[in-house]
Structure 1
Amino acid sequence: MDNNFARFKAFYKTASLWSGTLLGLEQFGLSNFNFDHLEDKESLDLPVIPQGTLLGKRAEYFFRFCVEQSNNYDLVLSNVQVFKGKITIGELDYIIRHKRTNATIHVELVYKFYIYNPTITSDKKTKILQELNKYQGPNGRDNLVRKLEHLKNQQLPLLYAPETNKLLKGYHIDVTQIKQKVCFLAHVFIPHQFWSHKFEYINKSSIVGYYYRYQAFAKAETTHSYFLPEKYAWKMLPQELPTSYTFNEILELTKESLQRGFAPLIWMQLLESKTFESFFVVK
């Protein structure tokens, strides 16, 4: 398998955060795409992504590439901006069509990194919202429940706005015949002691690592090798990078990163087995 195909496969193997429907949002997993015809392909030209492109935007390039490379879906439209006069009122991520059934689907893509914080309490009324509220971004500025509510109340309803209806008619697309789904991909990191915990509502396959509080990490010195991937590489499988760090070096870099307000993702390569562990260090 060439390197490009390996990178592509690393993306399309990303787990959906849940299966089926969650809070009325139906999942469209990357497993819906059929890539069997690519397995023996010697080379694959990945999308050209401008340097400095944010992680979420990189995922958009790859999702579009998934549609285009699949043998069971066609891309109808992508990143369609909807205007009211001269003001942008929103954007539709993707409209795709199944080649055999002709079923048309509006897909909103979400690509997130979450830590599961069991200590978070909330005034949410239902058990499911209280549990989902425990998933937050590593820097504490993002929250799963807020994102789900934004999808339900803002992003998906845009399809039925008069301006969208008029726009899609120009492409001979009947809004009433479109089904809506979300492709909600996530990498979840949990506390060490929760490895045997039964997580409700989410796919266990989306759990890819753990996280330390800084004070706990400072006491977890090892002789292993540490690597600090750039954010664009967070979605990749842990691997050796050109620069490795000792524990004391990575601890200092972690401290500096947290002082700037950014929780770093760290890849640790075990000394004897050469296998990797992936974890965040948070405040």
Structure 2
Amino acid sequence: MEKDNLQRNFEGYLNTPLLWHDAEVYGLKQCALKGMIFRNFTQKSNEHLRLGKLVEQFVFHQLDEDGSYSILAENIQIQDGKRTIGELDALLMTENRPVHLEIIYKFYLYDPSEGNTELSHWIGPNRRDSLLQKLDKLKEKQLPLLYHPKTQSLLDDLSLNLSEIKQQILFKAQLFLPLDHQKTVFSQLNPDCVKGFYLKINDLERFELGQFYIPEKVNWLMDIHEHVAWMDYHGFMMEIKQWTFKKLAPMCWLKLNGHYSKFFVVWW
């Protein structure tokens, strides 16, 4: 990944709020890291990292810079013989208290026809995942892994007492509402996470005078900037038709009348 893009992704990560604040959702408590000023991300090589692993590196860097945390272990695979049962994202020490931290960064679209609660309306761009599925996985698989018998030897090596470890998550997300959506949809989640809108391909003609760009998925974190190869409407439409034909919903950038917007074009 180019250094400029790496830095832009790091800044995009920092600019993404937590999906919820003080109130617990699903009984899950967020880890609120300090909003410090970061100039450069200069950590390990980040070539070919998937977006989720890149986010983990950003979080570890932020933890390193935060004097109130020390990282005891990260990306710890729990094995049962040759079989991997799962992975703990991080074990930390803060205020003389150990913490098991799970890190999540997601992109969700609001579908009012999906489910009947605030949490159930949020789905992945391709409808292959949802917020509820992720919350269930955290509660039923990822957090209970700490209490699996095969995890005990790791805790012993780190001189950690299982009963003293508290569990937290760091769950950030970019949220997208339907085009022209006006209704307030937030009571549990953080409305500051809304980063744009989504639409179907037939709605794109409304933006015929705009310029467009389709970032690679690993660059979805970053805020929109000017220094990309913008396409006109007709070139963009040719590309988008290939995406929707494959039943894929890409994130796109729009520049129109001096304003910038992030959006998804959905096939469903």
TM-score scaled by structure 2? 0.91
Over residues 257-277 of structure 1, what are the superposed CA-to-partner deviations in whole Å (9 max), with x where a residue is unaligned?
Answer: 122222111111124x2x311
Over residues 148-171 of structure 1, what are the superposed CA-to-partner deviations in whole Å (9 max), with x where a residue is unaligned?
Answer: 001000000010111112221111
- 1:117 match: 111
Q: Percent identity?
A: 30
Over residues 234-281 of structure 1, what are the superposed CA-to-partner deviations in whole Å (9 max), with x where a residue is unaligned?
Answer: 11011124321111211121110122222111111124x2x3111001
Whether 1:279 and 2:263 are equivalent positions in the alignment is yes
**What's the offset of the Cα at 1:5?**
6.0
- What residue identity is the alignment partner of 1:167? L
Cα RMSD, aligned residues only: 2.0
Q: Secondary structure of 1:194's match?
A: coil
Whether 1:95 and 2:98 are equivalent positions in the alignment is no
Over residues 110-135 of structure 1, what are the superposed CA-to-partner deviations in whole Å (9 max), with x where a residue is unaligned?
Answer: 111010011223xxxxx6xx321110
User: CA 1:239/1:202 → structure 2, altered by over 3 Å: closer, same or farther?
Assistant: same
Over residues 72-126 of structure 1, what are the superposed CA-to-partner deviations in whole Å (9 max), with x where a residue is unaligned?
Answer: 211111011111122111110011112xx212111111111010011223xxxxx
Range with greater deviation from structure 2 (133-142 or 254-263): 254-263
Q: Is the 8 A contact 1:238 1:276 kept in 2?
A: yes
- What residue identity is the alignment partner of 2:264? F
- 2:75 match: 79
Q: Secondary structure of 2:180's match?
A: helix
Equivalence map 1:169-208=2 (5 Å) = 169-208=156-195
* Unmatched runs of 5 consecutive residues or more in structure 1: 122-126
User: CA 1:7/1:147 → structure 2, altered by over 3 Å: closer, same or farther?
Assistant: closer
* Unmatched runs of 5 consecutive residues or more in structure 2: none
- 1:18 match: 20
- 1:45 match: 42
User: CA 1:120/1:5 → structure 2, altered by over 3 Å: closer, same or farther?
Assistant: closer
TM-score scaled by structure 1? 0.86
- 1:35 match: 36
Q: Is the 8 A contact 2:251 2:263 kept in 1?
A: yes
Question: Which of these residues, 108, 130, 147, is aligned with residue 134 of structure 2?
Answer: 147
- What residue identity is the alignment partner of 2:105? Y
Whether 1:158 and 2:159 are equivalent positions in the alignment is no
Q: Is the 8 A contact 2:9 2:221 kept in 1?
A: no
Over residues 32-71 of structure 1, what are the superposed CA-to-partner deviations in whole Å (9 max), with x where a residue is unaligned?
Answer: 23635x5xx6x552442122x2211211111111111222
- C-alpha distance in 2, partners of 1:13/1:221? 27
- C-alpha distance in 1, partners of 2:91/2:193? 25
- C-alpha distance in 1, partners of 2:120/2:56? 25
